[in-house]
Structure 1
Amino acid sequence: MKKSSITKAIYDFVQTEQSGGIVLICCAVIALFFSNTSLSHSWFNFWEIEVGFVSLGLHKSLLHWVNDGLMAIFFLLVGLEIKREIVEGELSSIKKSMLPIFAACGGMIAPAVIYSLINMGTDTINGWAIPMATDIAFALGVLSLLGDRIPFSIKIMLTALAIVDDLGSIIVIGLFYSEDISVTFLLAAMGTFGVLLIMNKFGIKSVILYLITGLFLWYFTLKSGIHASISGVLLAFSIPLGKGETDSAAEKLIQIIHKPVSFFIMPVFALANTGFIIHAKFEEVATSLVSLGVLAGLYFGKPLGIFLASWLAIKMKWADLPANAGWSHLLGVGFLGGIGFTMSIFISLLAFTNTNIQGFSKIAILVASVLSGLTGFFILTRSSRKI
């Protein structure tokens, strides 16, 4: 059967994401290996090498360039995917969007509440947003292992859910994990965003012009104290994308940056940030409130929030079950939502400056992601036998 353009777009997206997820896993393993061998000192020193432009205040370490520079491109892609879903995808109508929106909101609120309850009144409460995030590449990678046994509607559901989840994480980063604000640069960033919107209004379709203007937006945002990743989303939302248009500036840009993001930017992020020295005793990690909060939030909070919110939306007749799927499929999707990794690690770096606490958080993220992936895979395997 011939796929519609939007179905084909989602199919291609899933194919790229699952392959990128495999590369991401390999890079995470490499980073952990080098971090815990005799080469660990050289490994960490490499990421601290400073390069850039002193006159522009952009003389930063490679690690900062990855997190403040390359990740802005990652968020540009996320923003473009969100916009496409809103214009012509699973978020384009109220009925179609209600289930993934409810599921995503439940999947963000429950983990944050669980983490906050565990870390209430401590110095680590600032990490409440860490278990909110879902790593779409890993989640779709696990789902792909089940092949055609899983209804395609479930893949669409998980993709849309993760995209809404990413939008929520972006808003949280912008509101709660920004530094001291520079009014001058903030106004410059707002003015540049205004220029981008005017370009959109006048129907300018040149991808190059948007990217050049977006570079100024990134610089002003970075210097304003708001995390530079937000500039990627703002740029994405200003780029033209008409319903049914396959040659729009946004579609062209998605095609240009999708694979570089999946096969270069995200792997480099994993290499730069996943590595940590596993020197802590098991008792330290197991009793750390950060570890417990992240683990409980991702492994228990995510499926609980996603499943209950989905149940509520369907029972209230605000949404329908995905085609050819049952409640067990939604539970499996809920556990796959507990695969945090990239976004969770990114938020943990913003939430904490103490490297030991970051280490505890990363360990918990990795353990929770593995457990969530295995549990989700097991549930969906059994669910596929009942269809």
Structure 2
Amino acid sequence: MSFLRSNRTSAALLLVAAVLGLAIANSPLAQAAQDLQHAHLGLPGLGLDLSVGHWISDGLLAVFFFIVAIELKHEFVEGDLNSVSKAIRPAIAALGGILVPVGVYLAITWGSGYENGWPIPTATDIAFALGVLAVVGRGLPTTVRAFLLALAVLDDLAGILFIATFFTSNAQVGLIALGLILTVIFGALSWRYAALRRRARRPSQKRHRAAEWGLLLAMILIGLLTWYVVYQSGIHATIAGVALGFAMHRAPAHRARYLIEPVSNVAVLPLFAFSAALVTIPTLGETPLAAPFWAIAIALPLGKLIGIVGATLLADRLLRTKQPAILNVGDMLAAGALGGIGFTVSLLMNELAFAGNRAIADQGVLAVIIGSAVSIVLSVALVRWRARHYKRARVAANAATS
């Protein structure tokens, strides 16, 4: 089962699902696939009437964001971001990796009426970026992965904030407050559950097992209710996954992530990638590519690379970082190229930004796929170059000491 939790597996399945979705959308099966995507599965008694596509993007994707939130919390509490000194450098790099793509996007789309899509090229897909690094980056120092992980984690946090802030309409304050209360209750139950788990390890405390199962069931029900309330509040429902992940006690949270991650890697993310990539490639003579297409396709690979590398160099100068903490320019280029793989979160923000314009949303999906594909090709070349560099350095060092 370990391969189902692998970053390599996740990245491979994401890529296959996206390519398959794009291929089917431009084949004789296109109409059948799109009819299925738009078919509604409603729960009238609960006021839920969502299409299959929206069940995936609003429902299943909340599971992915739940896992992301658990990882974020771990990094802030125990990991690479657990102090200001550790977080400041990747934070500056992440900021550069957000501001420069936004600048590129706005420069291209200014006056077009599509400026609201500026958050789309700011995202980094953690699973995909780490997957590429795991596949071709053997031999790289651990500092490269730690830097990329911290950068991507902060990047995803920014993406979550963008979704909550800029893609919310007709928010109902009462339901938002109720969602917060339910989140607090969920967190309190998880702390109680963690305490009972510790006691249950003692031979004299086996009677607590029934209470554990009761608490676990209550947490699942409260979690589902929180998602429902957040969905009805007008905030994008994936925010419920984020809130629950942050609120959960770290012991059961780590266990939950361990159990759910294979499902997310094998089902949730590939289904979302497949659904989002069901886009018919426009014929240039019939549908000219609009400004957002070019803005996203350029801002993801180029804006991210320039922003991350430039901000990291600036951070090193401002903080006067010294070896061995500093990454050399080659490592920065590799990390910057990996940061341009937007994919999952970029696709979601594209869907939200252009929800009222299907033609532009479809072009945005193509742009995200193309921009991410360029970043993948570039990052593979740069990561392999750095891996070979470090391999030669180790061989030379071993030869010198023998």
What TM-score do the two structures reach when normalised by structure 2?
A: 0.86
Contact 1:76 1:232 in 2 (8 A): yes
Q: Which moved more, 1:268-277 or 1:145-154?
A: 145-154
Contact 1:130 1:347 in 2 (8 A): yes
Q: Deviations over 1:42-67 (max 9, x none)?
A: 01001112113101111211111101
Post-superposition offset of 1:192: 1.5
Give 1:227's aligned residue.
236
The yes-or-no answer on 1:268 pairing with 2:277 is no
Contact 1:221 1:228 in 2 (8 A): yes
CA distance in structure 2 between the aligned counterparts of 1:220 and 1:123, rounded to whole angstroms: 33
Give 1:334's aligned residue.
336
Post-superposition offset of 1:382: 2.5
Amino acid at match of 1:281: L
Give 1:6's aligned residue.
none
Aligned runs of 1:199-214 on 2, under 5 Å? 199=189, 206-214=215-223
Decide which of 5, 13, 21 is 1:23's aligned counterpart.
Answer: 13
Contact 1:298 1:368 in 2 (8 A): yes
Q: Which moved more, 1:192-201 or 1:327-336?
A: 192-201
Q: Indicate the SS of the match to 1:52.
A: strand
Aligned runs of 1:25-40 on 2, under 5 Å? 25-40=15-30
Decide which of 42, 46, 50 is 1:52's aligned counterpart.
Answer: 42
Q: Which moved more, 1:87-96 or 1:77-86?
A: 87-96
Amino acid at match of 2:243: L
Note the residue ranges of structure 1 that are not aligned, 5 or more in a row: 1-11, 242-247
Note the residue ranges of structure 2 that are not aligned, 5 or more in a row: 196-214, 391-402
CA distance in structure 2 between the aligned counterparts of 1:197 and 1:143, rounded to whole angstroms: 34
Amino acid at match of 1:120: W
Give 2:112's aligned residue.
122
CA distance in structure 2 between the aligned counterparts of 1:210 and 1:322, rounded to whole angstroms: 44
CA distance in structure 2 between the aligned counterparts of 1:51 and 1:322, rounded to whole angstroms: 55
Decide which of 123, 130, 134 is 1:140's aligned counterpart.
Answer: 130
Contact 2:297 2:370 in 1 (8 A): yes
CA pair 308-280 structure 1, distance change in 2 beyond 3 A: same
Q: Indicate the SS of the match to 1:148.
A: coil
CA distance in structure 2 between the aligned counterparts of 1:105 and 1:84, rounded to whole angstroms: 21
CA pair 384-218 structure 1, distance change in 2 beyond 3 A: same
Give 2:32's aligned residue.
42
Amino acid at match of 2:360: I
CA pair 385-204 structure 1, distance change in 2 beyond 3 A: closer
CA pair 14-105 structure 1, distance change in 2 beyond 3 A: farther
CA distance in structure 1 between the aligned counterparts of 2:217 and 2:333, rounded to whole angstroms: 43
Contact 1:157 1:322 in 2 (8 A): no
Q: Indicate the SS of the match to 2:319.
A: coil
Post-superposition offset of 1:312: 1.7
Give 2:309's aligned residue.
307
RMSD: 2.2
For these two proteins, the number of residue pairs brought into alignment is 369
CA pair 320-65 structure 1, distance change in 2 beyond 3 A: farther
The yes-or-no answer on 1:160 pairing with 2:160 is no
Q: Deviations over 1:178-202 (max 9, x none)?
A: 1211233222212212323444666
Amino acid at match of 1:161: L
Aligned runs of 1:1-387 on 2, under 5 Å? 16-199=6-189, 206-241=215-250, 248-281=251-284, 288-317=290-319, 325-352=327-354, 353-387=356-390
CA distance in structure 1 between the aligned counterparts of 2:310 and 2:217, rounded to whole angstroms: 44
Post-superposition offset of 1:149: 2.8
